[in-house]
Amino acid sequence: MSNKLIIFDTTLRDGEQSPGASMTLDEKVRIAKALERMRVDVIEAGFPIASPGDFDAVKAVAEAIKDSTVCGLARALDKDIERAGEALRNANSGRIHTFIATSPIHMKMKLRMEPDQVVEQAVRAVKKARQYTDNVEFSPEDAGRSELDFLCRVLEAVIDAGAGTVNIPDTVGYNVPDQFGSLIHSLRERVPNSDKAVFSVHCHNDLGLATANSLSAVLNGARQVECTINGLGERAGNAALEEVVMTVKTRKDIFPCTVSHIDTTQIMNCSRLVSGITGFAVQPNKAIVGANAFAHESGIHQDGVLKSRETYEIMRAEDIGLTTNRMVLGKHSGRNAFRTRLGELGVEFKSEAELNDAFARFKELADKKHEIFDEDLQALVTETNLEMENERVQLVALRVCSETGEKPEATVTVGFDGAELESVSQGGGPVDAAFKAIEKVINSGTNLQLYSVNNITSGTDSQGEVTVRLEKGGRIVNGQGSDTDIVIASAKAYVNALNKVLASKQRAHPQTGDV
Ligand code: KIV
Ligand code: ZN
């Protein structure tokens, strides 16, 4: 058995299934390139049949990525597989990942199919996918609640049909580490042709066990882990890539396999990129990438770390690409220094006009904020990208009056479908007043589900990064905005979310929706 652990990232597919985490084509390509720089083995780019936009995004990722394998998801249906094959046509290395549910509850209630029919459809799907590529993965959805004998039967049949990877999903996050490890062990023992395929796992985090279950599977012979940056994913998310990779790297003494091909110094960059684009902030105490993960607050710890870092540190901050906040650029930095530093962060500009736009924003920011850090640059580029083509709403001007004993009042000028409109509103606070004034003009009828502010770096001159989540008719979007003035950052985030609501189109969910 190979001692390489294959890292399969599904941030762009399962990650995007988190309500509100949808990404544009350009954002997906940016994240894919960052994953490729990390030398992730497989990038699952999406579910091509979900919508024309999803198809285009998988195709664009397949065309932009040269070193990693690009994968497209397809239900075990001819039309899904044809669409995935088409989207991956220009990939240097493409994989089709096809799946069908195998648990009694899913077969009976969701598929309304008999077990024999499920086996037949699974085999047919793998054979069909093999017409497009030699690299086919099969998943028995809800394997974590499937019957062992039936699972063995399905896996033997799909391996015979040509699946080179068989992925065991704990779709609903129900399993616990010992039991899930034993499941992988039993499958490898009992499936007669198990040596002909790589065993993979895909764990959800409903009980907070996704990483532990994945690693237990690795100890029992799994050689591919499906994971996402920051643990993003459906409901409570998937196993976090950074946790899986850093555990295997740190505990070489325990794991019989290696992740030495992964460039872990790209972890922080990817984490910030994904949280900036999706608006899903990383909790401060999140393992590996949380703001406190390498902060030593207590005097005893600080003293120990200063004497010898190993007293309290099991990993080096540099290994995940965490450099101490250093001022990277300032007011006098020129275009070249700006372009070079962003290049080092993996940001390429598509045109001179895009570079000029970002550079103008940088100069504006440098006027307000003396020291510009990597985090500021990343937020600035995210914001440049956030401005969507043909956006219908623009924030033209905002004035807010906030005074002790008085109700805050906001006056906004908003561009809407080409017209400039002004409105005034009072609110419980300055942000509330600003949102109400904007809503008076747009009349979106959306519900605000979440409002959160984070400071990008430290200090009161830091930029505030705001996320606004809006819901309308069951569709959820996240908007982001950043500025040194948090009321303006909030208004930008609200306008960004409104543009997404106005542009959002129907798309299917691979596991629960119809296409
Ligand atoms: O959780 C799951 O079962 C999935 C499959 C499509 C692999 O995401
Ligand atoms: Zn999943």
Return the ligand 1 atom nearest residue 99 CA: 6
The type of residue at 65 is: I
**In 3-state terms, what secondary structure has residue 253?**
coil
pLDDT tens, residue order, the chain (515 aa): 779 999 999 999 999 999 888 888 988 999 999 999 999 999 999 999 999 999 999 999 999 999 999 999 999 999 999 999 999 999 999 999 999 999 999 999 999 999 999 999 999 999 999 999 999 999 999 999 999 999 999 999 999 999 999 999 999 999 999 999 999 999 999 999 999 999 999 999 999 999 999 999 999 999 999 999 999 999 999 999 999 999 999 999 999 999 999 999 999 999 999 998 888 889 889 999 998 898 765 666 667 767 777 788 899 999 999 875 455 788 888 888 888 888 877 787 878 888 888 898 899 888 888 778 888 888 888 776 656 556 899 999 999 999 999 999 999 999 999 999 999 999 999 999 999 999 999 999 999 999 999 888 878 888 999 999 999 988 888 888 999 999 999 999 999 999 988 887 777 889 887 66
**In 3-state terms, what secondary structure has residue 447?**
strand
CA of 202 to the centre of ligand 1 (A): 7
Angstrom distances, CA of residue 130 to CA of 81, 168, 226, 389:
10, 20, 21, 38
Q: d(Cα 50, Cα 70) in Å, to the nearest integer?
A: 17
Q: Which residues contact 166 (CB under 8 A, 6 or more apart)?
A: 137, 138, 139, 140, 155, 158, 159, 197, 198, 199, 200
Which ligand sits closest to the CA of 80? Answer: 1
**pLDDT confidence of residue 386:** 59
Fold classification of 390-502 (topology level):
Double Stranded RNA Binding Domain (3.30.160)
**pLDDT confidence of residue 332:** 84
Return the ligand 1 atom nearest residue 511 CA: 6
**pLDDT confidence of residue 39:** 98
**pLDDT confidence of residue 349:** 82
Q: d(Cα 291, Cα 429) in Å, to the nearest integer?
A: 28
Straight-line distance from the first to the last Cα atom of the chain, in angstroms, rounded to the nearest whole number: 39
- The string over 239-267, giving b where at least 16 C-beta atoms fall within 10 Å of a residue's C-beta and e elsewhere, is bbbbbbbbbbbeeeeebebebeebebebb
Q: Other C-beta atoms within 10 Å of 435: how many?
A: 23
**pLDDT confidence of residue 380:** 84
Is there a shared CATH topology between the 6-278 domain and the 390-502 domain? no
Domain 6-278 is found in CATH 3.20.20.70: yes
CA of 241 to the centre of ligand 2 (A): 14
Atom 2 of ligand 1, nearest CA residue: 171
CA of 185 to the centre of ligand 2 (A): 21
Angle formed by the axes of helices 148-161 and 115-130, to 10°?
A: 30
Return the ligand 1 atom nearest residue 13 CA: 8
Boundaries of every domain in the chain: 6-278, 390-502
**pLDDT confidence of residue 404:** 95
Pocket of ligand 1 (CB under 6 A): 14, 99, 139, 141, 169, 171, 202, 204, 510-511
Burial-class residue 416 by CB neighbours within 10 Å (0-12, 13-18, 19+).
middle
The type of residue at 302 is: Q
CA of 267 to the centre of ligand 2 (A): 21
Looking at residue 108, what DSSP letter applies?
Answer: I
**pLDDT confidence of residue 390:** 66
Which ligand sits closest to the CA of 170? Answer: 1
The residues placing their C-beta within 5 Å of ligand 2, an ion, are 14
Among all chains, which residue has been given the structure tokens 């195709």? 59
CA of 169 to the centre of ligand 1 (A): 6
pTM, entire model: 0.89
Q: d(Cα 495, Cα 444) in Å, to the nearest integer?
A: 11
Looking at residue 1, what DSSP letter applies?
Answer: -
Return the ligand 1 atom nearest residue 226 CA: 7
